Amino acid sequence: MITFSAGGLRGQALRFPLARRGPSAIVRTAMTFEDVVREHQDAVYGAALRILGDRDAAQDAANQAFIKAYRSIDSYDRSRPIRPWLLRIATNEAITIGRSRSRERARRAPEAEAVLVADRAPTPERETLDRESRATIRAAVAQLPELYRVVVVLRYFNELSVDEVAEATGRSPSTVGVQLLRARQLLRKAMAGAGV
């Protein structure tokens, strides 16, 4: 999925705290950046896809996020989990790409045409779930203001805790909690209007 290659660090081991998964999980104390990319590429791509709603743009955002992470790996606090740090970079990159694409659309298309967006091809995840309600939920999340959309994507689609979302967005946990509450209220209104 991700086309980024971490050839420069292939033989060098980096030390990252790794969460244990299950009682018999193998715990590694050192990973290469290539291992980090392999382990977190789906989460990074998924967050970008849910924010942007476009596979190509999400691929670009994920690639850029890993390139930026690679370049700034020395500034990463290795005593903390790497996943929230990567997701923060990815969401910032997705927001930047989304804003530039919005500006491009506004310059090129009249407002009436800008609201007519072609339906995206379904992902395997979407195919296994109830298509109609899943599409309605995604559409409702996509209509949320950016401030709320980012916290919803990180909390519910990437399954981060409120503290992890706060760390990934640079906001306080209480601010994230309030934003999630407001986002859920907006989603309820949108879902009620859609008849779900």
Query: What digits encode the pLDDT tens for the residues 60-101?
Result: 999 999 999 999 888 888 888 888 999 999 999 999 898 888
Which candidate, 34, 5, 35, 6, places its Cα nearest to that of 18? Answer: 35
Q: How far apart are CA 69 and CA 105, in angstroms?
A: 29
Q: How far apart are CA 164 and CA 25, in angstroms?
A: 22
Taking all residues of the chain, what is their mean pLDDT, rounded to a whole number? Answer: 77
Domains and CATH numbers, the chain: 11-121 (1.10.1740.10), 124-196 (1.10.10.10)
195: tokens are: 């008849």
- What's the distance, Cα to Cα, between the start and end of the chain in Å? 33
Ramachandran sector of residue 171 (left: φ over 0; alpha: ψ -120 to 50; beta: rest): beta
141 burial (CB, 10 Å; 0-12 / 13-18 / 19+) is buried
- Can you name the residues that pair with 14 across neighbouring β-strands? 31
Residue 101: the pLDDT is 80
Condensed to tens digits (0 to 9), the pLDDT of residues 164-186 reads: 889 888 999 999 999 999 998 98
Condensed to tens digits (0 to 9), the pLDDT of residues 152-169 reads: 888 888 888 889 889 888
Q: How many helices (H) and strands (E) in the chain?
A: 9, 0
